[in-house]
């Protein structure tokens, strides 16, 4: 499989982690939730843990990496270049406030996957020129994961996707019931948090339902 094929296959359904829904008294761990998501059809795992210090983040990442490596699913670290390098992760996803994408590309090398969050055509073009492998477009629907991100219109999402030659994934409030509204935007995939992890007892089932609902989008790309 070529590098471009690996990226294209990986970004179809990115499960973005959040331990918020795992009770301290729960038998669930993030590791078993990630395993369940992969079994349900997640093609990429993005490790997004905002409240961990570096050492805890790296320790968790090493445990998650064993699972993703065994399954052949790319592990992408959210925001932290330092953690991504420490883990030897498959890639890094950054936002507009997380540093210069071109400089980060040089630091992670050409073998690592680089994703960049964008909210406009201008940001998408800049990300592509800086060496991003894919862009994350959003928020496409209202979301509780970020309070400071406005929702993009469907027309804006389509324009962003059309502005660059690299693949685009949608993120923000996506679930099995609304993902079909993104049809025709030329998206290569989607990313989801709550739609996958909000019910710890049925992560596998929730991922499978989302994958099934999103499948027509992948056929467009």
pLDDT at residue 219 in the model:
76
pLDDT at residue 24 in the model:
62
DSSP per-residue codes, the chain: --HHHHHHHHTTEEEEP-GGGS-TT-S--HHHHHHHHHHHT--EEEE--TT--HHHHHHHHHHHHHHHHHHT--EEEES-HHHHHHHT-SEEEE-TTS--HHHHHHHH-TTSEEEEEESSHHHHHHHHHTT-SEEEEE-SS--SS-SS-PPPPHHHHHHHHHH-SS-EEEESS--TTTGGGGTTS---EEEESHHHHSSGGGHHHHHHHHHHHHHHHHHH-
Nearest partner of 159 among 132, 129, 187, 178, judged by Cα: 187
Q: At what angle do helices 54-71 and 30-40 cross, to 10 degrees?
A: 30
Strand partners, 75: 45
Number of folded domains in the chain? 1
pLDDT at residue 149 in the model:
65
Domain limits at 40?
3-220
Q: Which residues are catalytic?
A: 48, 117, 146
pLDDT at residue 12 in the model:
95
Strand 134-138 relative to strand 91-94, pairing: unpaired
Classify the C-alpha dihedral 96-97-101-104 as positive or negative: negative
**What's the Rg (C-alpha) of the chain?**
16
Nearest partner of 190 among 205, 218, 171, judged by Cα: 171
pLDDT at residue 23 in the model:
73
Cis peptide before 84 (omega within 30 of 0): no
Which residues of the chain, if any, have pLDDT below 70? 1, 3, 24-25, 144-149, 221
Predicted confidence (pLDDT) per residue in 91-114, tens digit: 999 999 999 999 999 999 999 999
What global pTM score does this model have?
0.94
CATH number at residue 190: 3.20.20.70
């Amino acid at each position: 499989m070529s590098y471009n094929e690996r990226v294209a296959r990986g970004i179809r359904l990115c499960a973005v982690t959040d331990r918020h829904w795992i009770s301290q008294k729960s038998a669930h761990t993030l590791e078993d939730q990630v395993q369940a998501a992969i079994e349900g059809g997640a093609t990429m795992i993005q490790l997004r843990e905002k409240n961990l210090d570096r050492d805890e983040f790296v320790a968790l990442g090493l445990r998650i990496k064993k699972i993703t490596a065994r399954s052949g699913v790319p592990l992408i670290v959210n925001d932290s270049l330092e953690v991504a390098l420490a883990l030897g992760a498959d890639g890094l996803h950054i936002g507009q406030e997380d540093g210069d994408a071109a400089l980060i590309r040089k630091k992670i090398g050409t073998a690592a996957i680089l994703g960049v969050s964008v909210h406009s055509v201008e940001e998408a073009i800049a990300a592509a020129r800086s060496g991003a492998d894919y862009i994350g477009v959003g928020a496409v629907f209202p979301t509780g994961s970020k309070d400071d991100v406005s929702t993009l219109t469907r027309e804006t999402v389509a324009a962003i996707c059309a502005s660059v030659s690299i693949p685009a994934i949608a993120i923000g409030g996506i679930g099995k019931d609304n993902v079909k509204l993104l049809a025709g935007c030329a998206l290569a995939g989607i990313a989801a948090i709550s739609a996958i992890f909000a019910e710890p007892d049925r992560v596998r089932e929730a991922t499978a339902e989302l994958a099934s609902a999103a499948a027509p989008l992948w056929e467009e790309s």
